[in-house]
Structures are given as C-alpha cells and as structure tokens.
Structure 1
Amino acid sequence: MDAVDPTYPLYPIASTLASVMLLLVLLTSFVRQNWNLGVTFLCFWLFLLNLTNAVNAIIWSDNTDLKHFVYCDIVSHLQVAANAVIPMATLIITRRLYLIVSLRSVDLPNKASRRRNSIVEWTLGLFIPLLVAGPIYYVHQGNRFQVIGVFGCINEIQTSILELLTMESWTVIPPLVSIAFFYPKVVQTFRRQSRDIHSFINRNASVSRMNYLRILILASIDLLLTLPVNMINITLRIMSLRTGHTPLVFYPGWTVLHTDWAPVSIPYTQEQTFGTPYTARSFFLQWSNSLLAFVIFGLFGLTSEARASYLRIICAIGGWIGRSSASRAQQEQASLGEIEFGTRPQEMSLGDAETGPGSCHPVSVTPEPPAARQETEHLMGESGVGEKLESQPMLIEEVRRSLGDTGTGERRVSVGSETIDAAV
C-alpha cells in the first residue's frame, strides 16, 4: 500500500537527520564538559521527539492500525513532556543570559545563589514537564492514545477551560515571561555594551562571547517559533470545538473522560475533514521540531570546538575497535599455541634391566675414550699390575707340571697372552 503523504519519505528522513544532529551536539558537550542546562534540556527532549516522530512516520505511513500499545503509551506521554520543555528551555536560557549581563559575571557570586539557581532550572526543565506529562495529562486524557494517518500515535487531550489553564498555559506563559522580563535587557545590553560584555565574559577561559551570542540567537529563534505556534495551536483547538458544535466547558468530568478509554484511530481522510487550518497546524507542529533541531546544529554543531570533539570521538572509537581486534588476535594465537602431545616414552637403561621399568633413576653407559683408556692402563701398571704380568712364566711352569702329573692327552691353555700346548 502506498504512503498517504505525497512527500514521503521526506519527513522521516528529516526527523532522523535532526535526531542524529542533536545527538552529536549532546556528545560534544559531554566530551568538552561544557554544559548549558537550558540548551541541554532543549537538545535532549528535541532528540527524543524527532526520533519518535521519524519512527511514527515510518510505521503508520500507509495505515492507522492500532498496534504497539506500550510504545504508543510512552510516546504520547513523551510528546506532552516535550511540548512543555521547549518553552521552559527558552525561559532557562534567557534567564541565564539575564543573570550574566546583570551580574557582569559568568558564575554566580556564592554557593547559596548557585544552589538556588540549580533548583530553579531543574524545576523548570524537568520536574514541571514530568508533572504535566504525568498526573495533569491523565486528568484530561480522553483516550489511551490515538493513531492518526501520516503522524502515527499521538496524545489525546480533551479541550476544556481547565485543560487550557493547567496544560496549554505552560506552552505560552514561559515565552511571555522571557519576552517581558529577560529578553529585552539581554538584547539591549549585548547591543549597547558589547565591548564590556566581551571583556568580562573572556575572563573565563571556558566561554567566549561568540558562544553566548549563539545562545542568544537560539533563544530568539525559539521564541519566534514556540510562542506564535503555541498561541495559534490554542486558537485552532478552540475553533475546532465551534466547528463541531461542541461547547467549551470548564471540565467534562472524570467519568466522561475515563469511561470509554480505549485507543482510537483516525484516518488521514477523516482528519482532512477538520479543515485546512487544522491539517496545516498538524504539519507545522511536526516540521517545527525538525527545523529547530537544524538551527541548533547550525549554531553549536559546526564550531571549531565541535569539530575537534568529533575527531576525538572518532579516534576514541577507532582506538577501542583496534584494541578489541588486537585482543581477539592474541586470543586466537594463544589458542593455536596450546597443542598437547602424548606421553613421552620411558628411556631404557642398564638400571631398567636390573631393577625393571619402574626405576626412576636411569643409568647410562658411556664408552671410554681411547685416551682415557691408555691413561688408565698406565696408572694400573704403576700401581702393581705390572708385577703380576712379570710372574706369568712361573705360573706357566706350574700349569705344565700339574698337567703332566694328571695324565696323557693334549690340551691348549691360555694364560695371559701366551698359549700352552700340554699333553693330557
């Protein structure tokens, strides 16, 4: 079945690229240990939002089937949290810049003020969005989730006055606070006192005026995107109630919202019946997340520091792969070197002949060399063996005499080196 969106797969490709770019920005910040909490919150939640938008556009490109329930539960809550985080991140960024230009210092003056600032930023960037995506969203959740053609699974919120005050207000009030209290002074100070700003920012070696100028540009673009879009979104939702002849009540009631709570699917053709403004608003909300991700990468992902961080990451990955390959090669060589041989046969010796094969001390016989044998004979001659050789004639006479006494016959007897023929 063909995709419903005629531009498919343009949107999933753009969302995937946007998520990869945001991940690179987060990785380079981690490598350089250079964190701006507002920018980090914005990159992290936008990364998750673009990634899930790409997955949704691929899975439900040509259908509105109700499937992957657990995934849709997670994504629907994630969308609510991200829609609250993006305006909060803008407020965190502009407030931080306001403190810098007001105090003329990159760091806060004391430990108590730093702790108080951390509590404020973490509350705005994490705790309030989780509160909105958790219990507050459940109060206004008309269905478990809804699957819309082209866009996939999204959250399902019943519009009411209480919902506008407790949920949609978080998308409008933070940008209004930024514009009313922080943003004008930041822009005015950077424009009129750029030389002074440059001097006191450069006292800190870890930052530069260009970095804070990039953050200011990001806050400006985010304000231009989030505030008008969120205000138009609220207006279109109220207008859709009038188009459907549904009154805007304060709160429909817990029983009405949570009685038939099964997920619903809306084909793309049915969504088009809501009107062109509603369809255009849906597409713009989807594409604005990718557009903001491209802006962030253009400001923070193409700097010289970021490129150096990319090189370090690539070298680290290459070194890890090289070490793992070397360790595997060593293991293979070690396995090849472990060759077992059979039992060595026992040596036969003179000791074995006398004591049997169980002898553990073999005796070997080494032939005596000629020189040693001559020396031995010489020593034997000197020690008295020669005297025995001189007495051989006397011994021969005794043998002859004894043979002559015993009878006739002839016998050959060898004595020493002489042979005697005697009659027997």
Structure 2
Amino acid sequence: MPSHDPMYPLFPTFAFLGFVVSLIPLPWHIQAWNSGTCAFMLWTAISCLTGFVNSIVWSGNLRNPAPVWCDISSKIIIGVSVGIPAAILCISRRLYYLTSGTTVSITHEDKRRMVIIDLCIAVGIPVIIMTLHYIVQGHRFDILEDIGCYPVVYNTLPAYFLYLMWPVVLGAISFVFSVFVALTLRSFWIRRLQFNQLITSNSSMSVSRYLRLVLLAIIDMMCTVPLGVYTIWIGNQGIGLAPWISWEDTHFNFSRVALVPALIWRSDRSFTISVELTRWLPVLCAFLFFALFGFASEAQRCYKIAFWRVMGVFGVKPAPATPSKAGLKTLSLG
C-alpha cells in the first residue's frame, strides 16, 4: 500500500542523516572524556536510527513482522525521551562546576569519577525509567501505520510519577544549572582573562567548546520543560485519567498488539501532534548538535586527518609544507 505519511520520504531521509551527523563528532568527544555530550549523541543517534527503520518498514502497512524489534524500539522511545534531557543535565552540571571554579577533570581520577556520575545520570536514569514503564504498560505495544512500533502508557496516576514527569523534572534541574552558568558567564566575560585561564586549565575544554556547550544548554533550557509539559498535555487531550485498580487489571491481555491504521490515528489531532513531536525532536537535536560542533576547529582537524587517511589508501598523501609555502598543502603521489 502507498504511504499515507505526508512526511514520507522526508522523515526517513532526515532521520538517517541525523543518525550519521550525530555520530560524526563522537570520536573527539570520547577522547576529551566529555561523557555528557557522548550520551547526548548516542541517544539521538539511536532514536534517529530507530525512527528511520520504523518509518521504512511500516510505510503504508500494519503488519507485525518483527515483534521483538517492536519490543526493543518501543522501549527505546521511552528511554530517549528521558535520556536526552538526562544527557543535557550532565552537560549543564559539568559547565556549572567548571564555571563555579570547582576543580573538574584535572586528574585521571577526577575524570573517571565524573564519567561514572554522568553515566549514572545519562544512562542509569533512563534505564530505570524504561524498566518502571512496564508497571504502567497496558499491553505489549502499538503499531501505527506509517510510524511503526509505538509504546503504550496506561493513563493512570502512577504513570506520571513513574515516567511522564521525568523529562520535565530533568529539564527543570538542567534549567537551574544553566541559569547559574549563564549568569556567571556574564560576570566572567567582563573579566575575560580570568575566564580564559579558568577554561584552559581544563585540558578537555576550550573557550570555543565551552561557549558552544553553554549555547546547547541554554537552547535546551528554553525548550525541554515547555515541550515536556506540552507533550503531556497534548497527549492526554480527550483521554480521561483512569483509576489504578491492580497489577492484574492494568496488564490484562498484555500480549495484545494494537494495529492502528493511519486514517484512525491521524484523525486525532492531539495524538498526531504528540506522535510527530516524539519522532521529530531527536532528529532536530541531532542537527542542532552537529551545527554547534560539526564545523568546529577540532572537527575540521579530524575531517582533514580522516580525508588523508582515505587518500593514503590510494597512495595520495599531502606534501610537507615548505617555508616558502607556509600553510599550503599540495598533493603528491607515492
């Protein structure tokens, strides 16, 4: 059947590109021990890849050819909704301690401790929420035509404490850190020499990278909480809050898989907005991150190294720079 998705093939194209561009800056952020940014890239990449696969496989159909994949991908959607705000919290927290003058990642032990804390936040919390989601998971999963596998959340009061509130809570905590960073940054900018000395004292940070991370945190500060609240509100339009009766009642006929035609789910405007936000926001995050970090000086150096490594396979290598041609490179065949 032809796809009813007005975003096809636009969405799978951008989702795949988002998967690629979100991973491009990963190597040098791993090298710099920037665990928060690494978590951000990995969560967005996983989400983009999942969205790409789902939008291709379930374009114009309602089959259930891979139930195990749906079990995994529907949980990934839950994890990503918490993982990206958690990763931003790690970034904001790192910037806060750096800006406040607290010693961060100076010794190897400091770096290791910071990475462990970041992993507990950016990976541990989402995994816990993915596990707790099972408590309010009314049935196995839904399959939405043109969208693919989609998680189920039984709209009852415990769902808000176990899952729905966490993107907003993490965003609010990140907001507090980001506000402090922004205010402190202003005073440091007035005393630029002190600011430069503070940043460059950290071997994994530069002034340029610091400012780009601050910008990322501020954008998140402006978006995460409002979007989180809006998503909860729009996703519950016309759906009453069901009482929690028992575990058996919530999980009755749990193995059921609901197959929802596009004509049905797209007729609900609120649900359509919620679904589109869920799949497009990680793609936008991927391109935002690449726009901030994919063209930086360290990125350009890595691109240049990768380019010459590839060219070296074909026997092409850069000629050594000469004093008379400083800064210029020519090709030589070897």
TM range (shorter): 0.7 to 0.9
Is 2:151 the counterpart of 1:155?
Answer: yes
Q: 1:282-293, aligned counterparts within 5 Å?
A: 282-293=275-286
Contact 1:64–1:266, Cα closer than 8 Å, also in 2: yes
- Any conservation in 1 of the 2:178–2:221 contact (CA below 8 Å)? no
Q: Is the 8 A contact 2:133 2:162 kept in 1?
A: no
Shift in Å, 1:184 = 1.6
User: Could you say which residue in structure 2 is the equivalent of 1:79?
Assistant: 77
What is the deviation of 1:115? Answer: 5.9
Deviates most, 202-211 or 140-149: 202-211
**Partner SS state of residue 72, structure 2:** helix
Counterpart residue identity of residue 15, structure 1: A
Are 1:140 and 2:136 an aligned pair? Answer: yes
**Aligned residue number for residue 17 of structure 2:** 17
1:297 pairs with 2:295: no
Distance between the aligned counterparts of 1:63 and 1:110, measured in 2? 52
Identity %: 30
The structure 2 residue matched to 1:179, chosen from 154, 175, 200, is 175
Q: Distance in 2 between matches of 1:114 and 1:290?
A: 30
User: Post-superposition, which runs of at least 4 consecutive aligned residues in structure 1 deviate over 4 A?
Assistant: 108-111, 113-116, 317-322
Report matched runs for 1:178-327 at 5 Å: 178-180=174-176, 182-194=177-189, 195=192, 196-204=194-202, 206-242=204-240, 247-249=241-243, 251-261=244-254, 262-274=256-268, 276-317=269-310, 319=312
Separation of aligned partners in 2, 1:57 and 1:78: 15
Give the aligned partner of residue 36 of structure 1: 34
Q: Residue 8 in 1 paired to residue 11 in 2?
A: no
Task: Tell me the alpha carbon deviations over residues 33-69 of structure 1, each in whole angstroms, 9 at most, x when there is no partner.
Answer: 1231111101001101001101111111111222211
Shift of 1:78: 1.2
**Corresponding residue for residue 330 of structure 2:** none
Query: Structure 1: 5+ residue runs without aligned partners?
Result: 323-424
Structure 2: runs of 5+ lacking an equivalent: 316-334
- Structure 1 residue 166 displacement after superposition: 1.2
Cα separation, 2, equivalents of 1:169 and 1:116: 28
- The offset of 1:259, in angstroms, is 2.3
Matched, 1:167 2:163: yes
Letter in 1 for 2:120: T
* TM-score, normalization by structure 1: 0.69
Distance 1:152 1:321 in 2: 43
- Counterparts in 2 of 1:184 and 1:256: CA distance versus 1, 3 Å: same
Which structure has the higher relative contact order (CA within 8 Å, separation 6+)? 2
Q: CA deviation at 1:2?
A: 1.6
State TM-score, norm by structure 2: 0.86
Structure 1 residue 199: Cα displacement: 2.5
**Structure 1 residues 156, 305: CA separation in 2 closer, same or farther (over 3 Å shift)?**
same
Output the amino acid matched with 2:2: D
Q: Is the 8 A contact 1:81 1:133 kept in 2?
A: yes
Task: Please tell me whether the aligned partners of residues 132 and 167 of structure 1 are also in contact (alpha carbons under 8 angstroms).
Answer: yes
Q: What is the deviation of 1:108?
A: 5.5
Contact 2:78 2:151 in 1 (8 A): yes
Once the two structures are superposed, residues 266-321 of structure 1 have per-residue CA deviations (whole angstroms, 9 ceiling, x without a partner) of: 111111232x2321232122211111111100111111211221232344455568
Partner AA of 1:126 in structure 2: V
Alpha-carbon distance in 2 for matches of 1:161, 1:137: 13
Q: Which residue of 2 aligns with 1:98?
A: 96
Please tell me the root mean square deviation across aligned C-alpha atoms, in Å: 2.2
Cα deviation, residue 175, structure 1: 1.1
Offset at residue 156 of structure 1 (A)? 1.2
In the other structure, the counterpart of 1:337 is none
The code of the aligned residue for 2:221 comes to: L
Question: In structure 2, do the counterparts of structure 1 residues 7 and 76 end up closer, same or farther at CA, with 3 Å as the change threshold?
Answer: closer
Q: CA deviation at 1:83?
A: 1.1
